[in-house]
Amino acid sequence: MQGTLKSLWFFASLADRGGNMSRMELCTMSIIRKQNLPVGSDAESSRWSHWARHAVTVLVVLTLLWPQGVQAEYPQWDLAADVKSRFSTGCSSVQELMTQAEANGLDGLLFGDHDRKSIQYGLPYVERILRMKMGSPALLDNGAATYLSEINHNDQTDDTLVMVPGVESSPFYYWTGNPLDMNLVAHNWDKHLLVIGLPNSRDYEELPILNSGFTTRYLEDGYLLFLIFCVGAMIGLYGFMGKRWRGTSFLFALVMGLMAANTHPFKSSPFDQYHGDQGVQPYQDLIDYADSKGALVFWNHLETSVVGGFQGDLVQVKTRTDSHPEDLLLTRRYTGFQAMGTSPISAVEPGEEWDQVLMQYLGGKRDRPVWGYGPNDFRCGGKRGDLLGGVRTVVLAKQKSRLAIVEALGAGRMYAVRQGESQSRLSLDTFELIDSATGNRAVMGEEIKAANSPDLRLKISMTGGESNAPAQIRLIRNGQVVKRGVLSLPYEGVWQDAAPSPRGYYRLLVEVDAQHQLVSNPIFFNSGRSTNTEVATLKAESLSAPDPDLLPVAPSVAETPAPLPAPAEPAPAPKTEPPVVVPTTVTPTEKYVEVTGRGVRLRKGPSTQFPVVGKAAFGERLLFVRRTDVMLSGKAWIVIQKEGELAYVWEGLVKETD
């Protein structure tokens, strides 16, 4: 035993000659002390059993061989992001979307139902009182509490899919034209931001958007004028109570009351739609609001020009939204933007808006980088070419849970991929920077600090086992293409940059064809040397010839780090305020209810505010699915199935039956 311990101590001392005890030395010393064995004592060797000696030997050898600073692999999870349900403009319920998602091989759904989908125009000076309203019901009309309850319930009762609630918001629009001339146009109607992770329903209801609910957030902006009109109304009422000038006093009180109602300070936004374009400030206000709540914010549809309209009872209204990729540069503190869509996104091209924003971050002009994600923008399968999962956001998260997925989205550990109608997609199996001297590495969204040029390890394939697919690849460093080529998939290799910048990032663009594309997020590197980082420009030099010093080299076995077990999971984050409605309880489906009323309406959601999707006759038997906790007069709304379609009905209009 003495010889064994001396050998262990010798190998431990070799692990660190820098003057401080290494992890190996401390580990070995701890083992010896716990057994009360001074080094060199044969008298105590009998206390060590045969299995203990082997355990110590294995522990020491593993620790000696364990690479320092190497992280565990992140599993990849496929998400369909920005999915619309029946709560706004979608055609499917949450449960129906889950069934489609499982069939399409998805791991999660990130919802992006519209907060409001209405537009208002009012008469001058009384625009809040005498106005016309056009549009369709959306999330806030149907109830944010119910929305969160439905998603949370299904997320908690089904562990095959991760369900993440979100909201797509259009905080501002402005009018041009005149209704009398029949040329009214609402500009920026489809200028959207996706907000993910608002803690509770009240945060949804207080979003800083036009034409929403009452808030006290902007009381200071208009309370003085409001008080003046209120005092004027009171004076008019006082005069009306007298014996003289009653008619004039009443008219004065009425006018002052209308003006007070029209200028009330309990507004949902500090802006209105009648004073022209307000630039990016309305959108920055929403970003700041979401950021203060700990939520994530992504710009959507930056490069989509939309022309539409509404047909009202008296007038036809047009809507127009121009492309606005420059907003990436004009706004701050947002999380990311749409980097993949059904059409090419120019902002992801080398030297364009995304690179300019990232270079501002490197230059200290922004306090955080910006990430790209792939919104699916799914509404109705089979319409507009919609396919659930046709565009995916692939997330690198430690586990398949809402907390881990949202954390990865905020950290940029993800890539966007388009697969169209194909069953296979591009897969970025490995994309990381490795410091060969220390074994430290970084993946997308992370930064590696290395004195020398790090190695870039890359592995790309096609899911479904497809091979020999030619893929065009562009490696971008600090806004410029430094490597361009055509690779045969699957591909695996290590690239070495002979002359990297002292600080910067790498990101990747891959394309097989128009239906199979991939956009990675950046990996940052920092050598510790001082640098004057230049902001990427739109000049043609950003597409210069590849750097001849950046050549692919075959990976060697010695360079490959030994696999490590996953690190311990971090402690769960503090729980946020739960939704107003508690999750429902799943009931067996082999159960029926009988309609006890005549012409009972079946609705799209658990409230009379939801539109009618069908009717049931007196005595008709409906398949019972489950009971919600949304109550009306002491009875719950329940989910039923009729002719294969799910709908909601109030429990007071049916009775249980065999």
Residue 451 pLDDT:
82
Among 233, 262, 291, the domain boundary falls at 262
Task: Give me 526's structure tokens.
Answer: 């920092």
Report mean pLDDT in 10-residue bins for the chain, 658 residues: 40 37 39 38 42 49 42 84 94 93 95 93 84 87 92 91 96 91 91 95 94 79 82 85 79 87 85 93 97 97 88 81 95 97 91 96 96 94 78 96 97 94 90 91 94 91 82 95 92 84 93 94 85 39 34 35 36 36 42 87 81 87 86 85 86 88
3-state secondary structure 65-98: HCCCCCCCCCCEEEEEEEECCCCCCCCCCHHHHH
CB 110 within 8 A of CB 83: yes
Q: Does residue 358 belong to any structural domain of this protein?
A: no
Please name which of 204, 209, 212 lies closest in space to residue 577, comparing C-alpha atoms: 204
How many Å is the Cα radius of gyration of the chain?
31
In DSSP notation, 439-459 reads --EE-TT-EEE-SSPPEEEEE
CB atoms within 10 A of CB 225: 14
Task: Give me 200's structure tokens.
Answer: 């509770």
CB 613 within 8 A of CB 647: yes
Please name which of 74, 72, 76 lies closest in space to residue 561, comparing C-alpha atoms: 72
Residue 136 pLDDT:
85
CB 435 within 8 A of CB 497: no
Please name which of 97, 287, 116, 303 lies closest in space to residue 195, comparing C-alpha atoms: 287
Measuring CA to CA, how many Å separate 548 from each of 220, 483, 499, 521, 544? 61, 8, 10, 24, 12
Q: Does residue 300 belong to any structural domain of this protein?
A: no
Please name which of 522, 520, 521 lies closest in space to residue 503, comparing C-alpha atoms: 522
Strands 621-632 and 635-642: antiparallel
Beta-carbon-side half-sphere exposure of residue 546 (alpha carbons within 13 Å): 13
CB atoms within 10 A of CB 19: 5
**What DSSP designation does 177 have?**
S
Q: Does residue 619 belong to any structural domain of this protein?
A: yes
> How far does Cα 175 stand from its chain's mean position?
30
Q: Does residue 83 belong to any structural domain of this protein?
A: no
Task: Give the distance between the most distant pair of CA atoms in the chain.
Answer: 117
Q: Does residue 623 belong to any structural domain of this protein?
A: yes
Residue 385 pLDDT:
63
Q: Does residue 352 belong to any structural domain of this protein?
A: no
Interatomic CA distance for residues 149 and 585, integer angstroms: 12
Among 240, 262, 284, the domain boundary falls at 262
- Total domains in the chain come to 3
Among 65, 82, 113, the domain boundary falls at 65
Task: Quickly tell me which residue has 């109030």 as its tokens.
Answer: 650
Beta-carbon-side half-sphere exposure of residue 188 (alpha carbons within 13 Å): 23
CB atoms within 10 A of CB 39: 12
Q: Does residue 622 belong to any structural domain of this protein?
A: yes
Beta-carbon-side half-sphere exposure of residue 213 (alpha carbons within 13 Å): 14
CB atoms within 10 A of CB 473: 18
* Exposure string for 119-140, b = 16+ CB within 10 A, e = fewer: bbbbeeeebbeeebebbebbbb
Interatomic CA distance for residues 625 and 647, integer angstroms: 10
Interatomic CA distance for residues 473 and 388, integer angstroms: 26
Residue 220 pLDDT:
76
Residue type (1 letter), 89 = T
**What DSSP designation does 179 have?**
G
Residue 573 pLDDT:
39
Q: Does residue 491 belong to any structural domain of this protein?
A: no
pTM, entire model:
0.73
Residue type (1 letter), 402 = R
- Three-state DSSP class for residue 156: helix
What residues form DSSP beta bridges with 186? 175, 319
Domain that holds residue 21: 2-65
Residue 530 pLDDT:
55
